[in-house]
């Protein structure tokens, strides 16, 4: 759903001058923040959740992927708009409006747990990929993934925003090719896909996987990060630029990013539903990789593993960026990104070291993320609808209604999930 508000924002003075280059070139210069944030929608947790859903329930949860991606478009656009119009990130605005220090710390704690769950999924995913590609032990693979992500983070920490974006977007291309290859070679039937668009569940396990898919699709840290990415990209303003240009470009940015993410996520589920359903051992990424190799050949399996590796490396860098912004906005503390990376790397290495099933850890991390969604989404909808913050550029009434509906749906699913978990305990 498009929001027709048009905030008065401007572009950087080093942007191409209006009329000096074609419109397409000017648009390309403005793209980037959503593509970086969109990597969060293609992290190893997405792969594990969608692969398990397809292998276990076939096409049953196709509708969850589509619904999640539709809601994600609106959510990411609101986050980007908030950063552009106010010049502040969502965590910064939360830090300003939550007056009590104890309340800020509690809010930070839940957001920090979400960020750590994100890191957990991404480091474990990278470790699994390195094990599949090079037979590295999982603990060593996790250490390598974390170390490489530090190098990527150095670009952002040194202020080379465009270089950081180019690296992440390059990994996004690799991720897309790696995960989409299988479904291109062995496409599903159109009737089966259409049948999966009918909303329904089949028992508590399907609800658990639906919550996991939504937690992996609508990532709380992506909501926090996107407002910061647009703030950083367009923080320097000059005269002669119109608000229409930036928000128009932002809509394109979000649309392209979510179209890529949604297509790839759907491709993962369809690949599993078409080629892996009923195959023994596909409840783990290692087993799925082996099954893909047997069903579609070693080349497709290798591309899948490469996509998983790129997914872990790219998404863990974005997750660390979001975590640092959360701490800065809520606790008013700046911690170097590399130091943050070291601290959040420890829980993932511990889990890899003690021998917890990595695929199970990935799926459960996405469930944790689903519980963090309302804490990011509800304030986002509230802030973006306030005249005192956005003035004439606040949400239109229908945009706010759509945001409220998304919030209610997600909270309801999480409550149902809690009931099912404790009822079965």
Does 61 have pLDDT greater than 90?
yes
Does 132 have pLDDT greater than 60?
yes
> What is the percent of the chain where pLDDT is above 90?
30
The C-alpha atoms of residue 151 and residue 90 are separated, in whole angstroms, by 26
CATH topology of domain 23-372: Amino acid/polyamine transporter I (1.20.1740)
For residues 100 and 22, the model is more confident at 100
CA end-to-end distance (rounded Å), the chain: 40
Outline where DSSP puts E strands in 153-221. none
Does 269 have pLDDT greater than 80?
yes
Taking only the tens place, the pLDDT of each residue in 138-184 is 999 999 988 887 787 777 655 566 777 788 888 888 988 898 888 88
For all residues of the chain together, what is the average pLDDT? 82
Taking only the tens place, the pLDDT of each residue in 215-244 is 667 888 889 999 998 888 776 543 434 566
Taking only the tens place, the pLDDT of each residue in 349-371 is 888 888 888 877 776 776 777 77
What token pair was written down for 143? 């250490």
pLDDT of residue 244: 63
Does 198 have pLDDT greater than 60?
yes
The C-alpha atoms of residue 309 and residue 195 are separated, in whole angstroms, by 32
**If we measure between CA atoms, which residue out of 310, 295, 72, 41 comes closest to residue 183?**
295
- pTM score of the predicted model: 0.84
pLDDT of residue 115: 79
Does 18 have pLDDT greater than 50?
no
> What is the percent of the chain where pLDDT is above 70?
86
Three-class HEC string of 248-308: HHHHHHHHHHHHHHHHHHHHHHHHHHHHCCCCCCCCCHHHHHHHHHHHHCHHHHHHHHHHH
Q: Going by C-beta distance under 8 Å and a sequence separation of 6 or more, which residues neighbour residue 198? A: 63
Does 423 have pLDDT greater than 70?
no
| Span 107-111, average pLDDT | 91
- Give me the sign of the Cα torsion angle 44, 233, 332, 147: positive
Phi, psi dihedrals of residue 397, rounded to the nearest 5°: -60, -35
pLDDT of residue 20: 45
Task: HSE, CB side, 13 Å, CA atoms: give it for residue 388.
Answer: 4
The C-alpha atoms of residue 209 and residue 41 are separated, in whole angstroms, by 16
Q: Report the alpha-carbon angle 300-39-365, nearest 5.
A: 90
Q: Going by C-beta distance under 8 Å and a sequence separation of 6 or more, which residues neighbour residue 100? A: none
pLDDT of residue 85: 87
| Span 307-325, average pLDDT | 83
Does 16 have pLDDT greater than 50?
no
pLDDT of residue 418: 67
Does 248 have pLDDT greater than 50?
yes
Q: How far is CA 183 from CA 37, 67, 208, 269, 305, in A?
A: 25, 20, 25, 9, 15
What token pair was written down for 12? 């950087």
| Span 47-53, average pLDDT | 86
Domains of the chain, by residue range, sit at 23-372
């Amino acid at each position: 759903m498009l929001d027709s508000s048009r905030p008065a924002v401007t572009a950087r003075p080093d942007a191409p001058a209006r009329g000096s280059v074609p419109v397409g070139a000017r648009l390309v210069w403005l793209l980037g923040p959503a593509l970086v944030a969109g990597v969060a929608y293609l992290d190893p947790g997405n792969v594990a959740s969608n692969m398990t859903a397809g292998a276990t329930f076939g096409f049953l949860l196709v509708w969850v992927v589509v619904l999640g991606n539709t809601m994600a478009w609106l959510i990411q656009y609101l986050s980007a708009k908030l950063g552009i119009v106010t010049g502040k990130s969502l965590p910064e605005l939360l830090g300003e409006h939550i007056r009590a220090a104890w309340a800020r710390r509690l809010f930070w704690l839940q957001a920090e747990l979400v960020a750590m769950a994100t890191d957990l999924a991404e480091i474990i995913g990278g470790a699994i990929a390195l094990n599949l590609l090079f037979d590295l032990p999982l603990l060593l693979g996790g250490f390598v993934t974390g170390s490489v992500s530090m190098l990527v983070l150095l670009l952002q920490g040194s202020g080379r925003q465009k270089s950081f974006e180019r690296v992440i977007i390059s990994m996004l291309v690799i991720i897309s090719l790696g995960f989409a290859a299988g479904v291109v070679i062995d496409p599903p039937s159109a009737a089966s896909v259409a049948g999966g668009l009918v909303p329904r569940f089949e028992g508590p396990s399907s609800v658990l996987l639906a919550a996991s898919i939504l937690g992996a699709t609508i990532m709380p840290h992506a909501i926090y990060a996107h407002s910061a990415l647009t703030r950083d990209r367009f923080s320097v303003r000059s005269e002669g630029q119109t608000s229409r240009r930036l928000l128009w470009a932002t809509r394109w940015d979000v649309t392209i990013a979510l179209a890529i993410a949604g297509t790839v996520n759907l491709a993962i589920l369809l690949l599993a539903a078409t080629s892996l359903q009923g195959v023994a051992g596909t409840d783990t990424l290692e087993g799925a990789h082996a099954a893909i190799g047997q069903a579609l050949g070693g080349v497709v399996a290798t591309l899948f593993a490469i996509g998983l590796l790129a997914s872990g490396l790219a998404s863990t860098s974005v997750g660390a960026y979001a975590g640092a912004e959360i701490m800065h906005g809520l606790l008013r503390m700046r911690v170097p990104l590399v130091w943050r990376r070291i601290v959040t790397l420890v829980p993932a290495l511990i889990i890899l070291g003690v021998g917890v099933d990595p695929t199970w850890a990935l799926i459960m991390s996405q469930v944790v993320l689903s519980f963090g969604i309302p804490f990011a989404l509800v304030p986002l909808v509230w802030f973006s609808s306030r005249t005192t913050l956005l003035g004439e550029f606040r949400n239109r009434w229908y945009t706010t209604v759509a945001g409220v509906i998304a919030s209610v749906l997600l909270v309801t699913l999480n409550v149902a999930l809690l009931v099912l978990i404790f009822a079965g305990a």
